[in-house]
Amino acid sequence: MVEGSNQMTPKTTVAVTSQSRLTESDRLVLDRLYQPILGVSAYSLVTSLWREIEFQPHQRIEVPHYHFLQILNIDLPTFETARKRLEAVGLLRSFHRRDQVLPEWLYQLELPVNSSLFFSDNLLSLLLLEIVGEQQFKALALAFRPEPVDHTGFQETTDQFLNVFKVDNRLIATPPAVIQEVQNSMGDVETSRAPATVTPDHDGFDFDLLTAILQRSYVEAADLSHHRDLILNEVALYGLTETEMASYITDATSLTTNKVDTRQLKLKIAADHRSAPRSQATPVSTTQSAKADTVTGLSQPEKSLVSLANRLSPMDFLTAIRTEQHGFVAANEQRIVERLDAQKVFGHPVLNILVFYLLNDMGKATLTQSLADTVANGWAQAGVTTAAEAIREIHRYRAKQNSPKKTPRRSASSNRRTVKETLPEWAKDDYQPTNGTGSKLSDEQRAKMAEQLKRLNAKNGGDVDNGKH
């Protein structure tokens, strides 16, 4: 910001604007949490600024500074001190230009952060604690703490988007040009608050927490919000935590432009997970884990596979298969999985079964784009939306392939191969680890392998090994 006490007079014009509207919940946070740390003049200024633009076209006004000096009954130095306090806590962004075009100043109002983010910010919390004292600080935190809903005795039956609404899979994979055009135009508008998402695909990841972690770094909040979808896709694909993603974003952000290099971000994440697979897989979100997925008619190993596919992120699942095969995840395999995920035709559980089908059931040495696209297209046309449906589609395809070979004494059941036959050793109920020669492992080796399997299969309280659900 250009400091301008010697460039500003009461007659200096200013445009006041905002990209958002102040809601009742925003006003409550502003009144109860920000007001104590702002002081009388700064709090009066910010409420006056919001009030002045609230009912104006495009939420914008252009007035001389003396307009606010008269309203607030303060002098220019007091006004500038109040403005700086608003800037310091992120409620106002100030811009100045030196040419003769009016207005000379632009004030952009920013929404207060929500209460959870406010209390997670050490600087804001320390300042509030210092001003109101420990007793009042605890009382405010208690008042704003969300009350958890008691789900005891209930089983969630929330349905998924594609189970309720019928959308052409081809349009999901390749949206109409007008949608892309609108999305691009929306992405061009900078905003300091991350937009709400229609479908909570990443309900296990706290984007506000990620923003809070990066708030004091040189990463711009607007740029972070602009790349929200890409960040959440990487999080879901690789099973990253908020702290891990913050580290990757910091490394991929330019020190000169403060912009995130998305290509470098994706390459760094992919390289790390290719060279050093995660020791502890992270479950996918509950939305993508197909809560209503029915496993009726599947064998016990197939049910275990469905449970595992519902729990693991695609890259963790791919890594688990490669580890069991004593192989490694190739760079082209990562790109294939990323591309399939980016198309948003399937949720992660179905994508996991697709990977399993190609590498284990079909016995392919590596993933290939053409074969993956062929199988994915077939499943999309068949309306596959869950892991269990994917396994049933494998059965239907096998039965169809075998149907021409009809003989009087051979039944469909004898011809049909099932996923059970090619289920990886680490997912079978009767798994007994052995060394390369087939002999029994030592106690030390067995303990090490058991720990690895425990990390792979026991996520969120699940126990895939013994079929518990």
Rounded to whole angstroms, what are the CA distances from 377 to 237, 287, 345, 361, 466?
20, 23, 9, 18, 33
85-126 pLDDT, tens digit per residue, is 999 999 999 998 887 788 889 999 999 988 888 888 888 888
Alpha carbon distance 246, 240 (integer Å): 10
Residues 317 and 411 both lie in one domain? yes
Can you give the residue range of the structural domain that contains 201?
172-275
Residues 260 and 306 both lie in one domain? no
Yes or no: say if 35 and 43 are a contact pair by the CB < 8 Å rule: yes
Amino acid (1-letter code) at residue 107:
Y
Alpha carbon distance 340, 357 (integer Å): 15
Residues 339 and 449 both lie in one domain? yes
- What pLDDT does 93 receive? 93
User: 21-35, 96-110, 138-152, 391-405 — which is least confidently predicted?
Assistant: 391-405
User: 184-188, 197-201, 213-217, 305-309 — which is least confidently predicted?
Assistant: 197-201
> pLDDT exceeding 70 applies to what percent of the chain?
71
Q: Which of 49-53, 191-195, 364-368, 383-387 has the highest mean pLDDT?
A: 49-53
Using the 3D structure, point to which of 77, 97, 117 is the last residue of a domain. 117
H/E segment holding residue 13: strand 13-18
Residue 92 belongs to domain with CATH number:
1.10.10
Q: Which two tokens stand for residue 235?
A: 């999080």
Yes or no: say if 18 and 92 are a contact pair by the CB < 8 Å rule: no
Residues 76 and 189 both lie in one domain? no
253-264 pLDDT, tens digit per residue, is 876 677 888 888
Using the 3D structure, point to which of 76, 91, 117 is the last residue of a domain. 117
User: How many structural domains does the chain have?
Assistant: 3
| Assigned domain for 81 exists | yes
Q: What is the model's pTM?
A: 0.41
More confident residue, 373 or 446: 373
Helical ranges in 121-253 per DSSP H? 122-144, 161-164, 169-173, 177-187, 207-214, 221-226, 228-238, 242-251
Cis peptide before 103 (omega within 30 of 0): yes
Residues 110 and 216 both lie in one domain? no
Residues 207 and 267 both lie in one domain? yes
Residues 312 and 381 both lie in one domain? yes
| Assigned domain for 110 exists | yes
| Assigned domain for 142 exists | no
Alpha carbon distance 197, 208 (integer Å): 13
421-467 pLDDT, tens digit per residue, is 455 555 555 555 444 444 444 566 556 555 655 555 654 444 444 44
3-state secondary structure of 92: strand
| Assigned domain for 426 exists | yes
Residue at token pair 């935190």:
141
Alpha carbon distance 64, 146 (integer Å): 42
Mean pLDDT score of the chain, rounded to an integer?
Answer: 75
Residues 84 and 182 both lie in one domain? no
Amino acid (1-letter code) at residue 156:
E
Residues 340 and 415 both lie in one domain? yes
- What pLDDT does 210 receive? 81
Which long-range contacts (C-beta less than 8 Å, at least 24 apart) are formed by 357-363? 357/390, 357/394, 357/419, 359/321, 359/325, 360/321, 360/422, 360/423, 360/424, 361/394, 361/419, 361/422, 363/422
Using the 3D structure, point to which of 226, 260, 275 is the last residue of a domain. 275
211-249 pLDDT, tens digit per residue, is 777 776 667 777 788 888 888 878 877 778 888 888 888
Q: What sign for the dihedral angle of Cα 198, 201, 204, 210? A: negative
Mean pLDDT of all residues in 188-193: 44
Residues 251 and 340 both lie in one domain? no
420 confidence band (pLDDT: 50, 70, 90) = very low
Residues 305 and 444 both lie in one domain? yes
Pick from 349, 313, 350: nearest CA to 334: 313
Q: Which of 364-368, 415-419, 449-453 has the highest mean pLDDT?
A: 364-368
Mean pLDDT of all residues in 281-293: 43
Residues 324 and 425 both lie in one domain? yes
Alpha carbon distance 314, 284 (integer Å): 8
